[in-house]
Amino acid sequence: MAAPPDAHADLDGDAVARPAPAAPALSGELPAGFPRDVPLPRPASLVDFDATSVTLEVPTPLAATRAEYERRLRAAGFAAAAGGAWTHGARRVVVAYATHGAASRVRIEIPGGG
């Protein structure tokens, strides 16, 4: 009896489709009291925070980061105001953007705290 045609097949060199690993939604822990109703850019890594703000690094260029984050703010009911501020009811946030290498940084300030 003859061996099956694939009996000596070597699959080591075959490309196998693998899904890309999922990017974490948020890397790092937000400070206690950070308001949960304020959307965050995603994916992002927390790089700095203080009593009234967080700074996140986003792995996309500045223009794409700004467009996507502002879309998220609008979808959450926030409206653009002067000076980088966004408002939703009594909630007010001030957003600033900066280029950081090939990535972007987004600073979200909550005037008066959470």
- pTM for the full predicted model: 0.77
**Under 8 Å between Cβ of 64 and 103:** no
Share of the chain above pLDDT 70, in %: 77
Average pLDDT over every residue of 74-86: 97
Q: Given a cut of 60, is residue 109 above it in pLDDT?
A: yes
90: left (phi over 0), alpha (psi -120 to 50) or beta: alpha
Domain ranges of the chain: 39-109
